[in-house]
Structure 1
Amino acid sequence: MNQSKILFITPTGGRTGSEMLLWYLLSRLSGKIKTAIYTRMNGELFANHSTADQTFINHAKKGFIYGIYEGLYHKLFKITPEEKKVERIQRKIKADKWYLNTLTMPEFAKLAHQLKVPYFLHVHELVTIYDEIKYEPFKFQLDNAEKIICCSSIVETRIKQMGYQNTILLHSFIDTEKISVKQSPNLIREQLNVPVDAFIWVMSGSMNLRKGYDLLPDLFQFLPKNTYILWLGSVKETGVLHYIRQRTKLEKLNFIEIGEKSDEYYDYLNIADGFVLMAREDPFPLVMMEAAFLQKPIVGYNSGGISEFIQEGMGGVVDSFNPKDLSELMLKIQNQSIKIDKEKLKNRALEFDIKNQIGRWDNIF
């Protein structure tokens, strides 16, 4: 049997949405496809639970001294130490194709081109991320990709608006077999000192301004006192975090930082009465589908993929970024003036289960 070999390159190897998707994908690809992964950081997901046939991890600790070393190395050899490492990996495994997981690694598009290895570019980002990548590398990776995989319709629209027609729309997916709830929601609520009559909204993700977590304090102005909002995810220690913590303390807001809770993630997600997405921009968040599978009503700003996913009876989307508008929708769900169809939520999530998506991925590889 002829096997195609793919080298998957990913930014952190941790539990980001794009990397969880890749982790699911590698566990289910056809036996006709040999997989190798290179992760640019020692993230615990692929370091400890890799699903690829071969795993290569960059253990270099980047910092000031490494930056000097990298600069000198590049000046001497016209290539970075990391690029040289990936070149050695390619010579060793002789991958037929590379897969670049996210837009954030344009240097590997250039390296693939130099090595004459065709590559797929998987785009999980919208325009705010474009602003973080330099002009020429950004253009190069799109110009030279064999295929541009887009995780949602809005992502594909933005790529096509730049003139690229070699796109494939493959919505992000989840693996519902991985969603396991073991702890009692009431017990966890008690441990968090949340009153029995409280309505809990859960948010999830990594803290950054794109996710809209800075809008939380203003949202509480329009919600009843028995409303709690819990943040499930990593904490980024910046001035914005201090701003939120100070307002939470001084205004006595019912906001709780839960943390990542990697091993208990679904137990904590399951304590929600509803799931709220406050992102200003979000292509097609995995946690939205996970919440739907757990039959949680979903609300959010019209930030991207949420409007492709939400249907009548599942919650709702507001066409602004005004906390007052979002709070009005949240109150309608809390007051049960919007009918929620829990079976529809679960069935919609199942449409984006990996079992229903994997055939298309096998075909493109």
Structure 2
Amino acid sequence: MSKNKILFITPTGGRTGSEMLLWYLLSRLSGKIKTAIYTRQDGELFSNHSTADKTFINRTKKGFLYKIYEGIYHKIFKITPEETKLKKIQRQIKANKWYLNTLMMPEFAKLAQKLQIPYFLHVHELVTIYDEIRYQDFKFQLDNAEKIICCSSIVEKRIRQMGYKNTILLHSFIDTEKIIVTQSPSQIREKLNIPNDAYIWVMSGSMNLRKGYDLVPDLFQFLPKNTYILWLGSIKETGVLHYIRQRTSLEKLNFIEIGEKSSEYYDYLNIADGFVLIAREDPFPLVMMEAAFLQKPIVGYNSGGISEFVQEGMGGVIDSFNPKDLSELMLKVQNNLIKIDKEKLKKRAMEFDIKNQIKRWDNIFN
């Protein structure tokens, strides 16, 4: 029997949650499935460590002049240069299915239909992201998908509430074999000049309003002086960052921007005494599972997938988005007023390890 050939299409090739998941997936899919990956940007993940049979990377720099060129090209040929590139890739590999990783590429759903290629749409997003996609584009990619893969129950609920029945619930997962710690928390504390008696909360992700990083300064109003909050992830230089830095400086807050720390990511995550999610919306964050595997108590606002994951003995979830309420929960964890079962944290994370999820993925692609 000939192998299934699937072209996986992803936005950046970088270390976002949806793309880390895809990177893990491609390393473990059954040998019966032949894979190719097309990444729209030259992100480090697939550029340096691709796990697909074939890798295609779009290294085009999309500056001002390129946009003019793209506009002229589209006017003449009724297709973008990137879509032409994808058609060439398809002719080369002859994939019998496309996989679109995230809702942010509706133009490729249209191209797949033009080429009569069935596609799976993997939804990692909730409603705030819907607002960033044009109405007809959003509708088209959902209307024409063969299957809609949902990364959490709340994501599937929202898709089904729009009337789509062709959903598959496949929770996001991690690869625990990749979680390697090489430096002790005391070593990292020393690097960051954090005192030994400090209680450290770590949060992780890209800095944007959906992730709630603007709410950090307000948490400190209700926390003891020896509390530190560390942001582990990319730093976005906007007015909100200036707002946070000014308040951090003027109010002398123990807030530290660590940055991405790609090669030392798990060393810095492991420094946490607790992990806090302050996102307004987060479908099923991978870092939540990674923190659980490292046996860190988890607290956060009820922003989506956290309420599906966190169970009794693992921390807690706040139904409001009031910083005072979350700070009170954080303080209870700090003061050992909530019993934390570290073995349960690790065991729960293992339920979402790729080794325990991969058979379901093999089945849908076969």
Could you tell me the TM-score, scaled by structure 2's length? 0.99
2:171 and 2:327 map into 1 onto residues whose CA distance is 29
Q: CA deviation at 1:137?
A: 0.6
Tell me what 2:99 maps to. 99
Structure 2 residue aligned with 1:307: 307
Q: Does 1:352 align with 2:349?
A: no
Distance 2:267 2:195 in 1: 18
The residue number in structure 2 matching 1:110 is 110
Q: Paired residue for 2:256?
A: 256
Q: In structure 2, what is the Cα distance between the partners aligned to 1:181 and 1:166?
A: 40
Could you say which residue in structure 2 is the equivalent of 1:201?
Answer: 201
Report the Cα offset of residue 242 of structure 1. 0.4
In structure 1, what is the equivalent of residue 247 of structure 2?
247
Aligned ranges 1:260-275 → 2 under 5 Å: 260-275=260-275
Q: Secondary structure at the match of 1:221?
A: helix
Q: CA deviation at 1:2?
A: 2.0
Gaps of 5+ in 2: none
Deviation string, structure 1 residues 6-51 (Cα, Å, up to 9, x no partner) = 0000000000000000000000000000000000000010000000
Q: Distance in 2 between matches of 1:335 and 1:261?
A: 30
Q: Deviations over 1:304-325 (max 9, x none)?
A: 0000000000000000111000
Deviations 1:71-92 (A, max 9, x none): 1100000000001100110011
- 2:192 equivalent in structure 1: 192
Q: Secondary structure at the match of 1:9?
A: strand
SS of the equivalent of 2:222 reads: coil
- For 1:148-198, what per-residue CA distance to the aligned partner results, in whole angstroms no more than 9, with x for missing partners? 000000000000000000000000000000000010110110111111100
1:227 Cα offset (Å): 0.2
2:234 corresponds in structure 1 to 234
Question: In the alignment, which residue of structure 2 is the partner of 1:30?
Answer: 30
Among all aligned residue pairs of Structure 1 and Structure 2, give the percentage whose two residues are the same amino acid.
86
Alignment of 1:313-324 (within 5 A): 313-324=313-324
Q: Which residue in the other structure is 1:54 paired with?
A: 54
Q: Give the deviation of 1:237 after TM superposition.
A: 0.3
Equivalent-residue separation in structure 1 for 2:320 and 2:54 (angstroms): 45
What SS does the aligned partner of 1:201 have?
strand
Once the 2 structures are TM-superposed, how far is the Cα of residue 63 of structure 1 from its aligned partner?
1.4
CA distance in 2, matches of 1:127, 1:71: 30
TM-score of the superposed pair, with normalisation by structure 1: 1.00
CA distance in 2, matches of 1:301, 1:148: 27
The one-letter amino acid paired with 1:240 is V
How well do the aligned residues superpose, as a CA RMSD in angstroms? Answer: 0.4
Which structure 1 residue ranges, 4+ long, deviate > 4 Å from structure 2? Answer: none
Alignment of 1:80-159 (within 5 A): 80-159=80-159
Q: Look up the equivalent residue of 1:119 and give its one-letter code.
A: Y
Paired letter, 2:186? N
Q: In 2, distance between residues paired with 1:91 and 1:113?
A: 15
Q: Distance in 1 between matches of 2:63 and 2:133?
A: 20
Matched pairs, number: 365
2: distance between equivalents of 1:163 and 1:211? 28
| Unaligned runs of at least 5 residues, structure 1 | none
1:105 CA displacement:
0.2
